[in-house]
Amino acid sequence: MDRCGLPRAAAVAGPKQPATCRRSSRSKQRTSEVAIVLLPATLAAEAGGQKRFELQAATVGEALRQLPVASLLFDEAGELRRLINVFVDGADARGGRLLDEPLSADSEVRVVGAVAGGEPGKWL
């Protein structure tokens, strides 16, 4: 058994053999069309507890629309809700043409819900 609890397979030469198990954070090798989308705990709870999605998508918008929580991310007009922030590969991707932003095979899209509300002039 390997460290992931799977039976060891015989070594076979071939393309894209990851050095670590699929669940390992050290395993960085991905197929050419797959982008990673990460959800915060509050949205993951609405997605059956799943925080990480590997999706085949050409753009940020296409990836976000494939999520089981897409109806929570987009308004009735199909626009990203105002209090949803998106980061692509660590860079703030808000504004402009965010949804049309192309993704590459190693793109990581992180969805973050903004915090808003409270009483003006009151601080904790």
Domain ranges in the chain?
Answer: 34-113
Model pTM above 0.75: no
Indicate the average pLDDT of the chain: 78
**Does the pLDDT value for residue 55 go beyond 90?**
yes
Spatial contact of 84 and 114, defined as CB atoms under 8 Å apart:
yes
Question: Please, which pLDDT band fits residue 51 given cuts at 50, 70 and 90?
Answer: very high
SS3 content of the chain, % helix, strand, coil (to 5): 15, 20, 60
Q: Does domain 34-113 have CATH number 2.40.50.140?
A: no
Distances (CA, A) of 80 to 91, 94, 103, 105: 17, 10, 17, 23
Spatial contact of 92 and 69, defined as CB atoms under 8 Å apart:
no
Rounded to an integer, what distance in angstroms lies between the CA atom of residue 33 and that of residue 40?
Answer: 23
Give residue 84's Cα distance to chain centre.
13
pLDDT the model gives residue 123: 58
Q: pLDDT tens across 18-39, in order?
A: 444 454 444 444 344 689 999 9
Rounded to an integer, what distance in angstroms lies between the CA atom of residue 63 and that of residue 70?
Answer: 10
Rounded to an integer, what distance in angstroms lies between the CA atom of residue 70 and that of residue 104?
Answer: 21
